[in-house]
Amino acid sequence: MKLLIKNAIILTVNQHNEVLENADIALEDGRIQAIGKVPENFQADKVIDATDQIALPGLVNAHTHIPMSLFRNYADDLPFWPWLMEKIKPAEDHLNAEHVYWGAKLGIIELIQSGVSCFSDMYFYMDEVATVVKESGIRACLSGVLLEVDDLGPTFMKAAIDFHDSWHGKADGRIKAFFGPHSMYLCGPEYLRETTEEALKRKTGIHIHLSESRQEVADSLEKYGKSPVQHLADLGMFECRTAAAHCVHVSTEDIELLEKHKVSVLNNPTSNMKLANGFAPIHAMLKKGINVALGTDGSASNNNVNLFEEMHLAALVNKAVTEDAESVPAQQVLRMATINGAKALGLENEIGSLEVGKRADLILLDATKPHYFPRHNPVSSIVYSAQAADVSTVLVNGKVLMENYELKTMDVAETMREAERMAFDLVNRATL
């Protein structure tokens, strides 16, 4: 299949952050064959006219729990503990595979509609999420969660290993499997060591929550005499490619450790603010050279998976916190949402920028709407003016998943209906 996208404004997000106007992209066998000027003899099977549209790499949502779409708008304006223990956990205790299947489906529809071509997930029943990834055509890095609660540690370990070995590299290579130890407070040191070993053995990565709340840090200092970051470093986890979500409460020493061990930080501004955890010092991490990617977290603490909102927030929050308007400019935020996400998942040679040889994961935004005018600066318009609803077209691996706002691989009406049925069923069970 040869596809030609014509006349776009292209934000390449390559190392020079090149912006091309009136430019074309040629795609063949799922990869970018040419960009800018396409050879005249390129015989396309399909042509997409992208006049007045902005083309950019598909966004990477680097931290989410996609089936938690079931809990959207279910438990808001609550402190972390009652939110988790009185609302979310009682419902999750009744989760089954069918709930997760439909929750994942609803969440993945939302991801595609808002321009995400690749996401990194951690949750229960990960086979179901993988099944929806396979069906939908999206790309994902999936981590079966590992927890040491109720003596279930070994069960989760076996499930995570099985999940990796069944799914890693599957769905035309669109699925990558990481290991997902939940956190240093729900997994003991031996369990984290064992998880690291299993990941290293398989040459894959680890996806973990890290230093999300003040409480986590205080407990770690009391229990281990060191910060959560230092604790994981000492356990040897960072010998593995590690993608650490949150890192809100980190010291200067923690930031140095993260940099030294090339840990990627997954920043989730909405979730951190909504659960009142605070502001991650992203500006300091970026200055230090840490790879910072963006995520939405789950819809229970957001309450959507709209990465445009996270881009907007990442730019704004850091300016306000540092009282420096030049901090974290638009172009840097765009990199966080694309190539930095790819790096966090070890996919930087495949996706995250529009360059010859890379996978054809790209999106088009309809820049003919009033909030794109006057057209002074397309990069600013993406970070400061755009809405997720402006995403008109999404391609993954050269396959069209959405064209002119129409989803090609998923039944939206059926999914909304079934996911709602599943959610109400869960809530009913939890409150019986």
Considering only residues 327 through 346, tell me which ones interact with a second copy, judged by CB under 8 A: 327, 329-330
Given the complex with a second copy, which of 149 and 276 has the nearer CB atom?
276
Q: Is beta strand 362-366 parallel, antiparallel or unpaired with respect to 53-57?
A: antiparallel
Identify the residue among 34, 78, 186, 221 touching a second copy (CB under 8 A).
78
Say whether residue 423 binds a second copy (CB under 8 A). yes
Single out the residue of 60, 58, 56 nearest to residue 20, CA to CA.
56
- Buried b / exposed e along 126-158 (16+ C-beta atoms within 10 A): bbbbbbbbbebbbbbbbbbbbbbeeeebeebbe
Identify the residue among 26, 35, 70, 235 touching a second copy (CB under 8 A).
70
Say whether residue 284 binds a second copy (CB under 8 A). no
Q: Return d(Cα 331, Cα 353) in angstroms, integer.
A: 13
Considering only residues 212 through 271, tell me which ones interact with a second copy, judged by CB under 8 A: 214, 269-270
Per-residue mark of binding to a second copy, 289-318 (x: CB under 8 A):
----------x--xxx-x--x--xx-xxx-
Q: Return d(Cα 194, Cα 360) in angstroms, integer.
A: 37
Q: Return d(Cα 273, Cα 238) in angstroms, integer.
A: 27
By CB under 8 A, which span of 119-127, 203-211, 348-356, 384-392 interacts with a second copy?
A: 384-392
What strand order describes the sheet that includes 139-146? 59-64, 116-123, 139-146, 175-181, 206-210, 242-246, 264-267, 292-294
Given the complex with a second copy, which of 251 and 331 has the nearer CB atom?
331
Say whether residue 394 binds a second copy (CB under 8 A). no
Q: Return d(Cα 259, Cα 254) in angstroms, integer.
A: 9
Identify the residue among 200, 389, 403, 430 touching a second copy (CB under 8 A).
389
**Residue 174 DSSP symbol:** T
Say whether residue 322 binds a second copy (CB under 8 A). yes
CB 279 within 8 A of CB 272: yes
Considering only residues 133 through 192, tell me which ones interact with a second copy, judged by CB under 8 A: none
Q: How far is the CB of 339 from a second copy (least distance, A)?
A: 19
Identify the residue among 194, 197, 384, 403 touching a second copy (CB under 8 A).
384
Say whether residue 399 binds a second copy (CB under 8 A). no
